[in-house]
Chains A and B, each alone.
Chain A
């Protein structure tokens, strides 16, 4: 299947700093990517939909000024957690659909980024 990568895989930062997470589609172009967060032993919660060349669409309750999303190209979306606090510690996962996926609408997920805010 299609490959989606994330960088970094793990990051530890101090409270108050900002952290950028990259999501790349390695072998396909994605006009839309999705960002999720997942707390331990819980399900994935959609945070926002990242649209190439336009503003991201945020889910209710997600602060757009805190979680900045930039979809700069068809293969790269970034999520920046600004002024991170310990409660932002979570597993952040991105996904994208391969438009050439032969009739399937399968979304492929990145391996996730574990953020720990001290």
Chain B
């Protein structure tokens, strides 16, 4: 969820299979959610976002599902490729007043390893 852990959960999938990465959030005030991909030694890279008034959003090979009732978010990656290997973080956003931005709280991340 949005707590910080001492180690990252790992998900190993076979190349070509679908991946599902889950995230739980705790802040009910979050109304904007984003999935980021982070490769080693680099900054997070935007993958897909979803607003709280939606429960599903699709992008290219990725789908985000939001269940506000149980405060759960998931990222589905279709036909996973070796280049998808990275750490994936979910983030919940709370509006930052007066600036048109969101303050983000990051989940602890999941390491995705794709087996060729």
Contact = CB atoms under 8 A, between A and B. Distances in A.
Contact of A105 (B6, B8, B102): B102
B61 interface: no
Contact of A112 (B42, B96, B99): B42
Interface residues of A, number: 30
A17 interface: no
Most buried by B among A43, A46, A110: A43
Contact of A44 (B32, B44, B46, B103): B44
What secondary structure prevails in chain A residues at the interface with B? Answer: strand
A111 B6 contact: no
Contact of A42 (B4, B32, B45, B104): B4
Interface string A24-53: 000000011010100001111110010100
Interface residues of B, number: 29
Contacts of B6: 41-42
B93 A105 contact: yes
Interface in A67-118: 91, 93, 95, 97, 99, 104-112, 114
Contact of A51 (B34, B44, B46, B99): B99
Contact of B89 (A44, A49, A97, A114): A44
A1 interface: yes
Contact of B4 (A45, A95, A111): A45
Nearest to B95: A105
B69 interface: no
Given A31-B99, A43-B4, A93 B104 contact: no
